[in-house]
Structure 1
């Protein structure tokens, strides 16, 4: 795919992520939570760093099971801080535990997927960017969702992280119009 979005590196794992996952509408609440957690861990780092460690994260966080993670305490934080396979950042690890508790409350009340997707009536926003320079780092909607997540108890979910999450989970189609994945992802939302 020669006209891929310009942010894609040359590494196979990056190309596969772009070609198969990024921008595909995701409606599973647990998968959405995992992706939000990983985007939070990415803050201050490159996405390729997280992508290369994603399987280690899945192992260290027991498949991103929020019911289990919500019960964790200092012993698990200490264990994770010793795990060189993940990003060892106390604040992000502790936020993941707190975010699991917040996720459980939202999931029980209305469903995490509905909490997010209802804001755009269950349909991805279809952008038509020509260049990477046009793609925003955040939008009024990502600011609103960030604010609402924080009100629910989430951390490491600022407007820029939320917008990256929205792009990754297909809530917005930010593939450039010159990228073949733009039309493919558009068709997924019809």
Structure 2
């Protein structure tokens, strides 16, 4: 029973960490990468569709993303979707290829992005602590229902705390890596 609670808590904490890493991937640095456009949707015959499902998204160089729609009539819609996505990107069509240059980040914008990244990591830590609280409450309920003893409950809480500490350290490492990435010119 205690191992199930610990395993469930670990899975939830892992998901929180993965979500944080995905969110960090959406916060762009000065370099281009195709992940910037992952969540951008385009109107594809009346239904919102991810750009990656209607076009090839590639890196042309370190500062430019290339988007090549599979259908020529989608070029204008894809370009408009990228412009309207509020990513600070200004795509330019060159034949059947849409070039998306990523502008250099200013010092002020870098500092703003670091604040956003820190906020995201703090939210992830709160989520981890909520998982810990839920696991501890579950352990207390088992103790109250006399399904486990006090020693087992204490041991379970210690294991959940070690798990929590581990994931908080992982979040801090991810934050530190992202901050260094954002400050790199």
Q: Fold match, TM over 0.5? A: no
Between 1 and 2, higher relative CO (CA 8 Å, sep ≥ 6) is seen in 1
Work out which of the two has the higher radius of gyration on C-alpha atoms and give 1 or 2.
Answer: 2
Q: TM-score, normalised by structure 1?
A: 0.35
Q: TM-score, normalised by structure 2?
A: 0.35
